[in-house]
Amino acid sequence: MIEIENVHKSFGDLEVVKGVSLTVDKGEVVSIIGGSGSGKSTLLMCINGLEPIQQGSIRVDGVEVHDRATDLNHLRQKIGIVFQQWNAFPHLTVLENVMLAPRKVLGKSKQDAEALAVRQLEHVGLGDKLKAFPSKLSGGQQQRMAIARALAMSPDYMLFDEATSALDPQLVGEVLDTMRMLAEDGMTMVLVTHEIRFARDVSDRVAFFCNGRVHEIGPPEQVIGNPVQPETAAFLRSVK
Amino acid sequence: MFATSLTVNDLLFLLEGAWVTLQLTAWSILLGTLAGLLFGLLRALLPRATLPLAWVLDVFRSVPLLIQFVLFNSLKSIAGLNISAFTVGCIVLGIYAAAYFTEIVRGGVLAVPLSTRRASRSLGLSYLQDLRFIVLPIATRVAFPGWLNLVLGVMKDTALVMWIGIVELLRASQTIVTRIQEPLLVLCIAGLIYYVMSLVVARLGARLETRWQEND
């Protein structure tokens, strides 16, 4: 379970997250929507400790993420994250990209890590690209590789930071299909997304962020289908 | 029609000079690479704390190499250090190369996108693992052409050590010129030897780069 309580986050004088509270249960899929600069991506970076917070608390399975005593490298093993810019490691093959963390972080043998990586890559439909370097892949393929790379750590949670925003329109579908597959497998997911229809289809709950706060939250039928807040309605109209 | 007083012994003398040039280059590049790697990493990863280091290295990058040779050689005599002129040459050239290589390494490390490093840290890699498996390999590819340039530059800068009394390739050629009075021919041969030595280094480097480029 991810428990976010009254989190404040600033970059210098600019406060981007202004007191957000949100709980994500095991097996739940929560989508975060909202305009740019509303603090949604930043919040995601705070969940696995890539960004420090100034106030409040974030607990993952009861462990305080921002406690000095917390072993972040250990905690991050169970929180996978997929970025907007897929962030492939350019000097490693697709297979090596996925094998790296299981080998170096989990200490798996080369054979075990390779078997695991091959399985994950086949799962996302990249079984024929094992020896290719990321530069030879399309954006959609690189993003699916990034998903396989995160899944190879057998995370309990997956965070997606606008995973399809940097992709050409015709490549968005293949990545969304992969994410949908994960959701159907029961993975706990937090998605920051601009794909409203997708959010509506896969989410258990949708949170609308506005000015660094959760402005409206509830089941997708409500937040997307029949929003209570005028700002939510205005945002949905603007992205349609 | 074509007559010359150049003897086989003169040619051997030139090659001996070339061997000294190669040795000077190798030692100073070894020293410069090790020190530059360490300094460059420190400069890239702890920019504030290592600012004084940058000031010191700036001195070595800014003062003409010739002055550094003469000053260090005099310092050696004043301090009564019992080291050979060859060692002085290696040390001065090594520090000079280190000063340049520091900036090359720093540039390479800073060229690794922060987002790529975040991706590796998000997988649970520690700070040092991220450096070892992600940052250094990518930075090496970025820094390598600059390093190769430096090697070729240093190889030619070794010519300046003749001012502290070391007989390397250029000094050897001047000795021969003084005796046989055929500067054009002798300098052409010396230049050709420099060219061949550089060519070999450049070719080896190019081969390595092609291998990387096939991947990236």
Identify whether the C-beta of residue A148 lies closer than 8 Å to the C-beta of residue A121: yes
Q: Which of A45, A93, A101 sits opposite B124 (nearest CB)?
A: A101
Q: What is the 3-state secondary structure (H, E, C) of B92-154?
A: HHHHHHHHHHHHHHHHHHHCCCHHHHHHHHHCCCCHHHHHHHHHHHHHHHHHHHHHHHHHHHH
A55 has a chain B CB within 8 A of its CB: no
* DSSP, res A154: -
Q: Do B119 and A146 touch (CB under 8 A)?
A: yes
**pLDDT value of residue B50:** 93
For chain B, domain boundaries: 17-169
CA neighbours within 13 Å on the CB side: how many for B136? 11
A2-11 vs A55-60, strand pairing mode: antiparallel
Identify whether the C-beta of residue A56 lies closer than 8 Å to the C-beta of residue A5: yes
Task: List chain B residues with CB under 8 Å of A113.
Answer: none
Which of A 13-52 lie inside 8 A of B, CB atoms?
A: 45, 48, 50
Give the position of tokens 């700070």.
B127
Give the pair of three-digit tokens for residue B184: 């054009």
**What is the spatial distance between Cα A158 and Cα A24, in angstroms, rounded to a whole number?**
11
* DSSP, res A92: S
Confidence label for A65 from pLDDT (cuts 50, 70 and 90): very high
Measured torsion, CA atoms of residues B119, B123, B126, B132, in degrees rounded to the nearest 10: -60
CA distances from A123 to A81, A88, A154, A187 (A): 17, 18, 13, 15
B208 has a chain A CB within 8 A of its CB: no
Interface pTM, i.e. ipTM? 0.88
- Closest residue in B to A101 (Cα) is B123
Q: How many helices (H) and strands (E) does chain B have?
A: 9, 0
The Cα of A224 is separated from the nearest Cα of chain B by a number of Å equal to 31
pLDDT at A203 over 90: yes
Identify whether the C-beta of residue A157 lies closer than 8 Å to the C-beta of residue A79: yes
Identity of the amino acid at B160: L
**pLDDT value of residue B216:** 59
Q: What is the CATH topology of the domain spanning A2-88+155-239?
A: Rossmann fold (3.40.50)
Exposure class string for A5-34: b at 16+ Cβ within 10 A, else e: eebbbbeeeebbbeebebebeeebbbbbbb
**pLDDT value of residue A166:** 82
Residues found in chain A: 240
Q: Do A149 and B137 touch (CB under 8 A)?
A: no
**pLDDT value of residue B1:** 59
Most distant CA atoms of chain A, gap in Å? 55
**What is the spatial distance between Cα A86 and Cα B115, in angstroms, rounded to a whole number?**
9
**pLDDT value of residue B164:** 86
Q: Is the pTM of this model over 0.90?
A: no
Task: List chain B residues with CB under 8 Å of A87.
Answer: 113, 115-116, 118-119
Q: Do B216 and A135 touch (CB under 8 A)?
A: yes
The Cα of A222 is separated from the nearest Cα of chain B by a number of Å equal to 33
For chain A, domain boundaries: 2-88+155-239
Give the pair of three-digit tokens for residue A14: 């600019």
**pLDDT value of residue B40:** 96
Instruction: List pLDDT tens digits, range A147-200.
Output: 999 999 999 999 999 888 888 888 888 889 889 999 988 899 999 998 899 999
**What is the spatial distance between Cα A205 and Cα A22, in angstroms, rounded to a whole number?**
11
Identify whether the C-beta of residue A215 lies closer than 8 Å to the C-beta of residue A209: yes
Instruction: List pLDDT tens digits, range A8-57.
Output: 999 999 999 999 999 999 999 999 999 888 889 999 999 999 999 999 99
The H-or-E segment that residue A58 falls in is strand A55-60
Q: Do B124 and A77 touch (CB under 8 A)?
A: yes
A63-64 vs A79-82, strand pairing mode: unpaired
Instruction: Give the CATH architecture of domain B17-169.
Output: Orthogonal Bundle (1.10)
Strand order in the sheet with A188-192: A79-82, A157-161, A188-192, A29-34, A205-210, A213-218
Q: Could you tell me the mean pLDDT of each successive run of 10 residues in chain B, 216 residues long?
A: 82 92 95 96 94 94 92 90 90 95 96 94 94 94 93 92 87 91 91 93 89 71
The radius of gyration computed from the CA coordinates of chain A, to the nearest angstrom, equals 18
**pLDDT value of residue B215:** 64
Q: Do B216 and A90 touch (CB under 8 A)?
A: yes
* Mutation site, B121, B123, B127, interface A, largest A CB count within 10 A: B123
Give the pair of three-digit tokens for residue B210: 């092609």
